[in-house]
Amino acid sequence: MGLPVDEESIKVRRRRFLHLLSSASAKFDQAATESTKQFAEGEDKSTLSEEEFARWFRELLKESIGKHVEKQVPLPKMEMLTVKVKSLGGTEKEVEVPADCTVSMLAEAAAAELDLPYAQTKISVNGEVVPDSALLSSLELGSDPEVTAVVMDTIKVRRHVYNMRGGGPERRGYALLATDEVELPPRAKLADHLDKLVPQEGYSHRRPEEFDLKAFQATPSSQVPKKWQGGMNEVDVDLDATAEQVFGVDGHVELSVLVPMRGLD
């Protein structure tokens, strides 16, 4: 329970508060007057012209912002990583990139240092091309990795050719005919290179639209079914896209070519 407060006590406290407020206001006015004197160019240092006031206010604002920034918690410094990269021609350079950047950023920095075409530059670590989206921190580069900036002239794609066969239910369907590897220019439209996607024998006897081309993720075992029935999370190959867009450069996407039945196959 609070103590009773009479009216006289309230008046005393009010007077004390007003006195303190007046004293603080006077000190503020005095400080403000002192701070403006150095900006007053005329004889009367107690007043400022419009131009002088603008200069004073800018300096006051700058000082206020500066003190506020000093109180802020400093941002942690970005950890940088120096990577020694070389071109296939033997030129070697050191590039500095953020430790948590992507391989694509390293490729861009390496291409700039080695004067290589960035669009075709890939990073190879210890002889293996690394996907652009991989984080540098996930590569476990070690103390002395062999990092090479490679200009990709072609992309290698594993191809599986299936041929439609007739006959009884057990035999009918797309049967695996051959598995091989094709090389495609990375940034040319696939439509311009159907002769590389489709087996030469089939290409010479069929119109391009008669072939069914599927792209799918390679299985961990690298095995493919002897009879194509789908179910591989496959997608139709977009012939207006490039090989790099469809298959990437890491060899994880493969090609299935479904050849239609010919004659009495």
Q: Which domains does the chain have, with CATH numbers?
A: 80-151 (3.10.20.90), 155-259 (3.10.20.90)
Bridge-based pairing state of the strands 80-87 and 147-151: parallel
* pTM assigned to the model: 0.48
Helix (H, G, I), strand (E, B) or coil at 241: coil
Model pLDDT, residue 36: 62
Q: Does residue 65 contact residue 81 with C-beta atoms inside 8 Å?
A: no
* Residue 121, token pair as written in the block: 């530059």
pLDDT at res. 1: 44
CA 185 to chain centre: 24
Q: How far apart are CA 15 and CA 21, in angstroms?
A: 10
Q: Which pLDDT value is given to residue 6?
A: 57
**Type and span of the H or E element at 129:** strand 128-130
Show the CA angle centred on residue 244, arms to residues 109 and 164, nearest 5°. Answer: 165
For the beta carbon of residue 257, count every other beta carbon within 10 angstroms.
24
CA distance 83 to 181: 33
Token code pair at residue 25: 């206001």
C-alpha separations of 142 from 92, 172, 184, 196, 244 in Å: 18, 53, 33, 39, 29
**What is the Cα–Cα distance from 54 to 60, expressed in whole angstroms?**
10
pLDDT at 168: 73
What secondary structure letter does DSSP report for 136?
Answer: G
- pLDDT of 2 reads 45
Calpha distance 58→261 (Å, rounded):
83
Per residue in 32-71, pLDDT tens?
666 666 666 666 656 667 776 667 667 766 776 666 555 5
pLDDT at residue 26 in the model: 56
Which parts of the chain register pLDDT below 70? 1-48, 52-54, 56-57, 60-61, 64-75, 119, 143, 201-209, 250, 262-265
Collapse the DSSP code of 231 into the 3-class scheme (helix H, G, I; strand E, B; otherwise coil) and give the result: coil
